[in-house]
Amino acid sequence: MRVDIKEIRKNFGPVKANDGITISLEEGRIYGLLGENGAGKSTLMKILSGYQPADSGEICLNGAAAQFTSPREALSAGIGMLYQEPLDLPPFTILDNYLLGKDQRIIPDYRQAAKELNALAERYGFEIDIQATVDSLSLGERQQLELVRLLAGGAEVLILDEPTTGISAEQKDLLFASMHKLAKEEDKILILVSHKLPEVQELCDHVFVLRRGKLVGEADIPCPNEKLVEMMFGQLPPRSERSPFELTAPAIEISDVQVDTYRLSIAGIDLQVRQGEVLGLAGLEGSGQRLLLQACAGLLKPSRGRITLGGKEVTNHSYHATQAEGVAYIAAGRLEEGLVAGLTLTEHGVLAAPKHSFMIDWHSARAETDRRITHFQVVGTPESNIDQLSGGNQQRFLFALLNTPLKLILMEHPTRGLDVRSTNYIWEQLYARRADGTAIIFISADLDEVVERSDRIAVFSGGQMLRIVEAAETNVDELGHLIGGQA
């Protein structure tokens, strides 16, 4: 297999997402595609995988021109893509989702499909309960399912858009080993779209760098990170500094809390987070951290214990009642839980407003949305549909929707899909809220982020909060051992 992408152009209104990009890909190699948020990486890969058409340009497979009107057509030609936002049907079971587009019979062969799915999951080190519904899975588990579906579909070109988000370090190692085997032993082409330069250095043979829709450089790996970052941004972005934290009054107190679901339970959680404090929750995917966040947000009701916010008990408050008390929740699933597909940025701003009148002042709403877009450096306009934004810009806009003041911000993977400059900027905005007494509790699969950004870290394993450590007194290696249950 050889893939030639020639002079691809794609515009979204005045925005040139792809501006004459030409690259060639050869079998048996792993390529990295780098660039800041909105550089055009995902757009280019969506064109290659049949998700959307190019305005002009050509894609050639083994020298022959190819046109795809759907991802299914692209997969039949050997090109499959793992998107940032999984393309699945949440109410269906994992087995049903696996069969979609694979078995066209009126009565599918569930026994054979279960056998295939279990074999693939075992081969790539994924733990999948094939009878569970997709809406019960974490984002990382849904990405695992999508990857297995592509491999079962016989993809010769695999595009992975931020594939390691939400999966554990052990699963990442298995995934990388599988990707290396697919390229080096089975002569497939793999394309890794990522902002994580250590992963690119570890896995890739060659990288292409996009900036503002153009191909601005390429390099063989290994290559100094400084050179890659400079190609991505035109300069080395400054690092954000964490402001010092001073002990103040408790923002939230969690006393002997137990939360039960059919898949997992957490019990005996005793925790106090003070105003202005940043608490990181570390643990393997599905260890109970998310249950704690959802209980604090009013999305899950504790079966035991008390949750007090600023001295007021909110244990059995609904999500909206908790919001009214000054709590904000940023979920990992951007378009599933945080944003509404099909609505404009202005309409999102109206929905997120803490108070609503009978008649909407659209002029003021557009002006406020424009202010937030400018402040959070979102590439878009008040009239832009949220679906038109890149994943990174959707993430920025989620933060732009946060109201002021807030007592508590709860976040799942807050910098998922963000480049290094955007990550630093988002944390600068979060640190600025510390001065107002806002407490922050967040989950991240990136242990470097947990250690660097937290004041304290609560370690979870198997539904238990094992211990709380001072971030300044630990490191990534020690934290990894603690997550694994080792003292």
Full-model pTM: 0.71
> In this prediction, what percent of the chain has a pLDDT beyond 70?
94
Alpha helices by DSSP H, 267-419: 289-297, 319-324, 345-352, 362-375, 391-400
**DSSP, res 282:** E
pLDDT of res. 280: 95
pLDDT of res. 418: 78
pLDDT of res. 321: 93
Segment 76-96 mean pLDDT: 84
Contact between 410 and 297 (Cβ < 8 Å): yes
Query: Nearest-CA neighbor of 160 among 73, 69, 54, 45?
Result: 45
For domain 2-233, the CATH architecture is: 3-Layer(aba) Sandwich (3.40)
**Could you report the per-residue pLDDT of 301-346, keeping only the tens digit for each?**
999 999 999 999 999 999 999 999 999 999 888 888 889 989 999 9
Segment 234-248 mean pLDDT: 68
Contact between 30 and 190 (Cβ < 8 Å): yes
Query: Nearest-CA neighbor of 294 among 271, 321, 319?
Result: 319
Segment 192-220 mean pLDDT: 90
CA–CA distances in Å: residue 233 to residues 87, 424, 427: 30, 13, 18
pLDDT at 166 over 60: no
Q: Same fold for the domain at 2-233 and the one at 250-483? A: yes
Cα separation of 110 and 116, whole Å? 10
CA angle 159, 160, 164 (to 5 degrees): 170
pLDDT of res. 53: 92
Does the bond joining 405 to the residue before it have cis omega, within 30 degrees of 0? yes
pLDDT at 125 over 90: no
**DSSP, res 238:** P
pLDDT of res. 362: 93
How does residue 486 score in pLDDT terms, banded at 50, 70 and 90?
A: low
pLDDT of res. 96: 87
Which segment of 119-128, 239-248, 280-289, 335-344 scores lowest on mean pLDDT? Answer: 239-248
Contact between 23 and 5 (Cβ < 8 Å): yes
pLDDT of res. 312: 94
pLDDT at 33 over 80: yes
Q: What does the mean pLDDT of the chain come to?
A: 87
CATH 3.40.50.300 is right for the domain spanning 250-483: yes
Segment 442-454 mean pLDDT: 89
Segment 167-180 mean pLDDT: 75
Q: Where are the domains of the chain?
A: 2-233, 250-483
Which segment of 76-85, 119-128, 224-233 scores lowest on mean pLDDT? Answer: 119-128
Query: Nearest-CA neighbor of 121 among 104, 96, 143?
Result: 143
SS3 389: coil
Segment 221-226 mean pLDDT: 89
**Could you report the per-residue pLDDT of 374-419, keeping only the tens digit for each?**
999 888 899 999 988 877 888 889 999 999 899 999 999 888 777 7
pLDDT of res. 239: 63
**DSSP, res 186:** T
How does residue 146 score in pLDDT terms, banded at 50, 70 and 90?
A: confident
Cα separation of 144 and 32, whole Å? 20
